[in-house]
Every structure is written in C-alpha cells, then in structure tokens.
Copies of this chain bind each other. A is one copy, B any other.
Amino acid sequence: MANRSCVIRLSRYKNALNRLKALNFVRVFSDNLADAAGVTAAQVRKDFSLFGITGNRRGGYKVDELSDQLNKILGKDQLQEVVVIGMGNIGRALLHYGGLEKSGIKIVAGFDIDPAKFDREGQPPVLPLEDLVSVVTERQVALGVLAVPEYAAQQVSELMLSAGVRGILNFAPICLKAPEGCVVNNINLESELENLIYFVNAANNEK
C-alpha cells in the first residue's frame, strides 16, 4: 500500500508528464521525472514499481502510457466532484480556485450558515449548510473541503460524513479524527509556517 508521500509524488510525476506531453515528448526517463519532482531517479523507479509500472533502461517510459497509468491510479479517469464548506477567506478562495477543472476535479458548491453569503446563482453556487446532505447525496459527492472555524470543524465534519462524503481536506486549525472508512488530510497553515521556521533556523544553525 502506498503512503501519503508516495501518492503526492505520483501527482508531481503526473503533472510533469502533462507538461512534457504539451512539448510533444514521446519518451521520458526516470531521471527526467526525478528532476521535475525534486527526488532521486531511484525513488521514481521505486514508486512506479509499487504499482507495477515498468520502463526499460534504454527506452524509458512512454509518456502517453505512463500518463494514463498515473491518471488511473490517481482516480483521474473519472470526474471527481468536491464541495467546500465554510465561506471565509480561505473557503471562498478555494471555491474559485482555477485550474482544477482541467484536471478532472469539479467544485460543485460552497456551503455556509450565514445567509449573507448565500449565492444560489453563483458559479459555483453558495448554499445554506442545511442543503449539504441533499446535494451530496443526490450527486454522490465523495470529497469535501472543510474551511470552517475551529470550534465548528468536528461537528461539520460529522455532518459531511453522514451525508456520504468519504474524504475531507481539512483547513480548519484542528487535527480532525477520521472515522472508519473515511480519509481526512489536514492542512494547517500555522503548522506549515512553523515547519518552515524550524527548517530555516536549522539551516542557519548549521552554518
């Protein structure tokens, strides 16, 4: 079973392949993908071997074939619909985040409890939180982005799960617990900045 870091790398390889495709590349070598993803060529080959993807030393990988294989692994062979809960600064930014559609991800609606934020005619629309269950159930949306304040996060995540959401990308500054059969990835801006601070200081101290 692949771990989180491995799957993040697969995304990077896939993105690099898309760029190479646009440049009419037909073949690609693990060294090329390693450069694009900032890892070693051995890591690329190891990641691929986990999924039974093999190239050959002289010919490398065929761009089209490899791209199809990675897209399939990453679930990009079908449109993925996503809802965004919480229309604060981050939630609104994510609702209108460009460039996802071309990669097969569609944000279908935003949700909030504040009537001032509702916008039924918007693209995507912003709807009352009460409508979440019906929208998710009807459209069989499996993914949700959670961008509500900390105090509301656990409760809203349970509502999302009860509606049928199976994967949550959580931007609320709290480490959500994933119940059985559900995946939660936490992105905490404060932690990310702290992480950066730590490594910047560590680099300074090495001098």
Q: Which residues of A contact B (CB under 8 A)?
A: 1-2, 4, 7-8, 10-12, 14-15, 36-38, 73-76, 80, 82, 88-90, 92-94, 96-97, 99-100, 103, 105, 142-143, 166-169, 173-175, 177, 181-183, 185, 187-204, 207
Contacts and interface: CB of A to CB of B under 8 A. Distances in A.
A15 B190 CA distance: 10
Nearest to A150: B99
A39 to B, nearest CB: 9
Contact of A188 (B7, B11, B142): B11
B195 A185 contact: yes
A166 B190 CA distance: 17
Nearest to A197: B75
B15 A173 contact: yes
A92 B91 CA distance: 12
Contacts of A94: 89-90, 189
A35 to B, nearest CB: 9
Given A15-B191, A166-B200, 10 more contacts: A7-B198, A12-B191, A15-B174, A38-B177, A75-B201, A90-B97, A94-B189, A100-B189, A167-B197, A183-B200
A177 B93 CA distance: 26
A67 to B, nearest CB: 14
A88 B188 CA distance: 20
A199 B167 contact: yes
